[in-house]
Each structure stands twice: as C-alpha cells, then as structure tokens.
Amino acid sequence: MRDMVPVLEARGTRVPSAPFVRFSTLWVQVTGTWCNLQCVHCLNASGPRDPWLKPLCAERVRHAIRESEALGVKDIYFTGGEPFLHREILLLLGFALAAAPTTVLTNGAAISEATIAALASLARDAPYSLEIRVSLDDVDPEGNDRVRGRGAWARAVRTIRRLHAHGLLPIVAATEDPGGEGQVGPGLYGRLRDFLVGLGIDKPRVKILPLFPVGRLASRGGDLLSEEMLDGFDRARLQCAEARVVADGGVYACPILAGLPGARLSAGDLEESFRPAPLSHPGCVTCYETGMTCRNA
C-alpha cells in the first residue's frame, strides 16, 4: 500500500507553511490504515489487508491524550482506518472523554448493538460530548456502495438507526462527488437531511467533505500552493494551524496527511510538533480553496 502514497519531494521554490497558532485538536489515527472497507476515494488508502500505517497501541494513545490534556486540548478525534476494529476502542474513548469532548469517525459497518449500548453509556456518564460520525456517501444504496463497497450502505444505515434509537445523535458525513466523476452535485446536503428525516431522525446532522487528491485518488495530483497564491490569505484559518495528529511513526500536521513523511512534525512528542507546517501537498490546495475543516463544526 505504501507505494500508493506520494512521497513529498523538495522543490526549487520555497515551500509555504502554515503557522502554528494554538493547539486545539488532537487527532488519533488509532487503527492506522486498517479498515474493513476499501473505498475508492479513501483519503489514506485504508483497507483490510497489510495497512501501510500501523494501528497504535493503547498506551501510545493514552500517553497522547494525557499530554494533550496538559497542553489544553479542546477536542479529540479518533480516526483510522476503522476505529472500531481496535480491540480497546471503548476503553480509549472513555479515557479520552475524561479529558475532552471526543468524536469517533466510523464507516458504521462493524458496530454491534452491544457496542452502541456501551457508547450510549459512555455518552451519558462522560463530562463532555461524545460525537459519532458515520460515513455515508449517498442516499441511494447503489451510489454509496459503488464507492464504499457492496453492503456498506445497509450496514451504515443500520448503525445510524441504532445510534438514534439509543439517544445518540450521529453526524452523517459524506464526500462530494466521491467517484470523482461529477455525479453528485451541491444538493447532496439536502438529500441526506431529507433521507435522515425519512428514517425518523428528528435532529438530522450532516457534514459534507470535499474530495481530496490524496490516498486512492492521489493519482489525480494537482497543483501545489505557492507563496504567491497565499498572499493576503489568512493561513491561521487552515486546520494545521491548530491541530495535530498522532499516528504510527510520529506526530503529523493534519489527518489528511497523517503518515506522509513530508507532513511529519515530530517523532512522537506533541509539543515538539508545535511549529509551522509545510503546505507542500496537493491536498493543502483543497483546504485552501474550500476552507474545509475535518472537525465537526
């Protein structure tokens, strides 16, 4: 899998960077790129076999959370891969929730009824909000499964229903034009909201993400940011100005680029990573153009 990920190369011109403004968000790449699905648009080319980015052991995660809490973290996100494949995910979510509001990103395909009951219990007892973000790229099963794999739609929708039944308010996350063919337009947000209301979900929550030229879509390539393009642009708005990602191999600038050598800011120490992040990947252009954030809001 590693050969699918572009290694950043030095360029002749100066690489622009984003300042480190403050530490707000800790991302934990808890299962690396180990996933039960193999989506065609996956940001980090995750899949079920031989993850190029290894899962983290529980102690590494707990250490990062403790370090983050002392540094005044505002929120914590768990991602992968599929976080619910981690054997200790519930314990780790509980540990994180004692420190800060916590979100877990999931494809919803591997969450049992018992796990959802445990999540509801965690949410009830925690001092801070627990958010569950479930990926669903289309209201139409065929459209979704074309990019996420056969059966993915049904399993995700079942999980969304169960989360709702347990009083959790899932955020449904979708990628615009996941096939990269211009098939899905700006009405995706409204369609997903209507779909959720149709399921009986009275507080529909939807997050739309842009398509990134990274992971399995890295071959689409794209321009790189230059100092000229960034002239007059407030770089502090970029999420790498206030987020850091703990993943196998170190601390990285953003969840989109976790594991890529050019985005590594320290070998493991969080505070050491609090320095400007190079904006040297085509994915940085997507953040610049869309103003997107991987956070919930």
User: What's the half-sphere exposure (Cβ side, CA atoms, 13 Å) at 23?
Assistant: 22
User: Are 101 and 127 spatial neighbours (Cβ–Cβ below 8 Å)?
Assistant: no
Q: 109: which residues sit within 8 A by CB, 6+ positions away?
A: 36, 37, 82, 151, 152, 155, 156, 159
CB of 122 to another protein, least distance (A): 12
CB of 72 to another protein, least distance (A): 3
DSSP code at position 21: -
In this structure, the number of other CB atoms found within 10 A of the CB of residue 143 comes to 16
Which token pair is 274?
A: 């609090």
Q: Which residues in this chain contact another protein in the complex, by CB under 8 A?
A: 22, 68-75, 99-101, 123, 127-131, 167-169, 189, 193, 202-203, 205-208, 293, 295-297
CB of 199 to another protein, least distance (A): 16
Is 38 or 115 the residue whose CB approaches another protein more closely? 115
CB of 289 to another protein, least distance (A): 15
User: Are 213 and 286 spatial neighbours (Cβ–Cβ below 8 Å)?
Assistant: yes
Is 34 or 77 the residue whose CB approaches another protein more closely? 77
Q: 48: which residues sit within 8 A by CB, 6+ positions away?
A: 34, 35, 36, 37, 38
CB of 107 to another protein, least distance (A): 19
Q: What is the DSSP string of 39-64?
A: -TT-TT--BSSS-SSPPPPHHHHHHH
Is 199 or 267 the residue whose CB approaches another protein more closely? 199
Is 5 or 188 the residue whose CB approaches another protein more closely? 188
Is 178 or 259 the residue whose CB approaches another protein more closely? 178
